[in-house]
């Protein structure tokens, strides 16, 4: 079973507290850990054998990309970012999903190239520490704020 498919099932059952909004090609969710405040994911709706961008037909791919860009813009506006970072990985779960990170100077401390570099140069145990999981209240607040921004942008 796929973790992303599990999370989508929870969204469809109304039991995923991280869920923000459904778009045509995917679901917007807040990330479990918030060291990079505003970390947001955009989960493609389908899995099956579609695990690369080039598996999607052109129209679907363009829409998925455009919606991802919209979500990134909304996260940047809502949570503040000096620069957005975009990642589509999938060696853990092949299910197409974007990691969208609002970045700020100093957010990887002195790791990487003297504090410059990708999010994954910050130690995994710090990035995924329970210390930076949002409380229920904080999560509700983040979900509401990002949903409001997205609603305003998608009218």
Site of interaction with Zn ion (CB under 5 A): 2, 4-5, 47, 95
CA angle 64, 58, 96 (to 5 degrees): 40
Nearer to Zn ion, 45 or 103 (CB): 45
Instruction: Write down the least CB distance from residue 9 to Zn ion, Å.
Output: 10
What is the DSSP secondary structure assignment for residue 135, as one 8-state letter?
P
Q: What tokens appear for 51 in the block?
A: 């695990």
Sign of the CA dihedral with 21 first, then 76, 72, and 128 last: negative
Instruction: Write down the least CB distance from residue 60 to Zn ion, Å.
Output: 16
Nearer to Zn ion, 2 or 53 (CB): 2
Q: Which residue has the tokens 């829409």?
A: 63
Instruction: Write down the least CB distance from residue 95 to Zn ion, Å.
Output: 3
Nearer to Zn ion, 29 or 81 (CB): 29
Q: Are 125 and 54 in contact (CB under 8 A)?
A: no
């Amino acid at each position: 079973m796929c973790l992303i498919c599990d999370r989508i099932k929870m969204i469809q059952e109304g039991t995923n507290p991280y869920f923000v909004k459904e778009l045509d090609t995917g679901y917007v969710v807040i990330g479990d850990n918030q060291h990079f405040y505003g970390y947001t994911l955009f989960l493609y709706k389908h899995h099956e054998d579609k695990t690369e961008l080039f598996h999607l037909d052109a129209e679907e791919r363009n829409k998925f990309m455009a919606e991802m860009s919209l979500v990134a813009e909304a996260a940047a506006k809502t949570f503040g970012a000096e620069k957005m970072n975009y990642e589509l990985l999938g060696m853990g779960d092949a299910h197409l999903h974007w990691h969208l990170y609002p970045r700020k100077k100093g957010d990887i401390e002195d790791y990487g190239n003297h504090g410059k570099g990708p999010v994954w140069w910050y130690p995994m145990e710090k990035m995924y520490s329970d210390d930076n999981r949002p409380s229920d209240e904080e999560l509700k607040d983040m979900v509401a704020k990002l949903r409001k921004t997205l609603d305003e942008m998608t009218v």
